[in-house]
Amino acid sequence: MAIMQETKYIWKNGKFIAWAKATTHILSHGLQYGTGFFEGIRSYPTPEGETIFRLQPHVERIFHSAQALGMKLPWNKKQIAEAIIATARKNKVSDCYIRPYAFYGYQKVGPNPADSPVDMIIACIPLKDYLKRDFIKVTLAPLARIAPSSAPHGTKISGMYYHAALSGLYAWKRGFDEAIVLDHKGYVAEGAAENLYMVKHGKIYTPPADTILPGITRDTLMTLCKDMGIPIQEKRLTLKMLQDADEVFFSGTAVELHSIGQIEKKKLPRKNPITKELCAHYMDVVHGKVGKYKRWLTWI
């Protein structure tokens, strides 16, 4: 996993401050109870300059996560979008991972955050390859994903990411690159922080949206597959189906598209023609080389 590189400025509550000054109190509610949420967005260089990919759905998800936490952000969607663009512009970095994060500050004792102050930051760091190896090795995480009835769907609430953290740690300790997690019914759900796909006989299958975080990259791929004539279908998947697949890959804003070369001890075929074709097209789209999808780009 990539090491975080510092940049100059962080947007905090409407103002730019130096990276080193972006601190908070140790008793902040968000730190104690995980009552914050984050977003992960990418910018890419294009022939016409640096752009942010699919900013609008990320802004929508920011407000969805805030609402799930009962958090009232003192900015509207347009102001948050402008703040994200301004942060990327001010830091003058290319190929950047943008991290908005909002959390309850400290005020009261106990887990109910009602009336607590809200702090929001936007940071921006250079990020090229999230995963270093080409065909990664994945293992099955010991803990199933948080059940849909126990977490607000489609949000990126920080507290929920203890699960991704433990899954990743488990994989790393066993010499794997990443973990895949089962849902509460024992079907394969996704990666620790990535959506998951398998290809069999020329068709892509991916778990239904109800037990996963239905990613923005996943949504992008659904559209691209339709245009490219690659059949893609939601389906409950088992570990055995993945291990018998022709191709298996992850998607996500950070990971982009990444082929999986091994699941537990089972080595997978490495030709991966469909993943390669889709990945090449995705990278062309994010880099502004496909006219039709320039509508997904916001110029910095």
Ligand X SMILES: Cc1ncc(COP(=O)(O)O)c(C=O)c1O
Q: In the range 160-189, which residues lie near ligand X by CB under 6 A?
A: 164
Q: Which stretch of DSSP H or E encloses residue 140?
A: strand 136-140
Q: Is 217 in the site for ligand X (CB under 6 A)?
A: yes
Q: Is 213 in the site for ligand X (CB under 6 A)?
A: yes
Which lies closer to ligand X via its Cβ, residue 177 or residue 190?
Answer: 190
Q: 8, 72, 137, 156: which one is catalytic?
A: 156
* Rounded-to-integer distance, Cα 58 and Cα 37, Å: 12
Q: Is 59 in the site for ligand X (CB under 6 A)?
A: no
Tokens of 186: 């024992």
Q: Is 100 in the site for ligand X (CB under 6 A)?
A: no
Q: Is 253 in the site for ligand X (CB under 6 A)?
A: yes
292 among known catalytic residues? no
| Residues contacting 86, CB < 8 A, separation 6+ | 11, 16
Tokens of 236: 């409950």
Q: How many residues bind ligand X (CB under 6 A)?
A: 13
Q: Is 216 in the site for ligand X (CB under 6 A)?
A: yes
Determine which residue in the list 116, 195, 206, 298 makes contact with ligand X, applying CB under 6 A. 195
Residue with tokens 């300790």: 173
Instruction: Say if CB 164 and CB 175 are below 8 A apart.
Output: no
Determine which residue in the list 168, 207, 215, 288 makes contact with ligand X, applying CB under 6 A. 215
Q: Is 123 in the site for ligand X (CB under 6 A)?
A: no
* Smallest distance from ligand X to CB 68, Å: 15
Q: How far is CA 244 from CA 231, 238, 269, 291, in A?
A: 19, 10, 9, 37
* Rounded-to-integer distance, Cα 146 and Cα 144, Å: 6
Which lies closer to ligand X via its Cβ, residue 87 or residue 253?
Answer: 253
Q: Is 34 in the site for ligand X (CB under 6 A)?
A: no
Which lies closer to ligand X via its Cβ, residue 137 or residue 258?
Answer: 258
CB-nearest residue to ligand X: 215
**Any bridge partners for residue 122, and if so which?**
11, 100
231 C-beta neighbours (distance < 10 Å), count: 13
Long-range contacts of 274-282 (CB under 8 A, 24+ apart): 274/199, 274/202, 274/204, 274/230, 274/247, 275/199, 275/247, 275/249, 277/228, 277/230, 278/221, 278/224, 278/225, 278/228, 278/230, 279/249, 281/224, 281/228, 282/217, 282/220, 282/221, 282/224, 282/256, 282/257
* Smallest distance from ligand X to CB 217, Å: 3
Which lies closer to ligand X via its Cβ, residue 40 or residue 100?
Answer: 40
Q: In the range 128-167, which residues lie near ligand X by CB under 6 A?
A: 164
Give the up-direction half-sphere exposure of residue 208: CA atoms within 13 A in the CB hemisphere. 7
* Smallest distance from ligand X to CB 218, Å: 6
Which lies closer to ligand X via its Cβ, residue 116 or residue 212?
Answer: 212
* Smallest distance from ligand X to CB 106, Å: 26
Q: Is 190 in the site for ligand X (CB under 6 A)?
A: yes
Piece in contact with ligand X (CB under 6 A), picked from 77-85, 121-129, 191-199, 272-280: 191-199
What are the residue numbers of the active site? Answer: 156
Q: Rule CB under 6 A: which residues touch ligand X?
A: 40, 164, 190, 193-195, 213, 215-218, 252-253
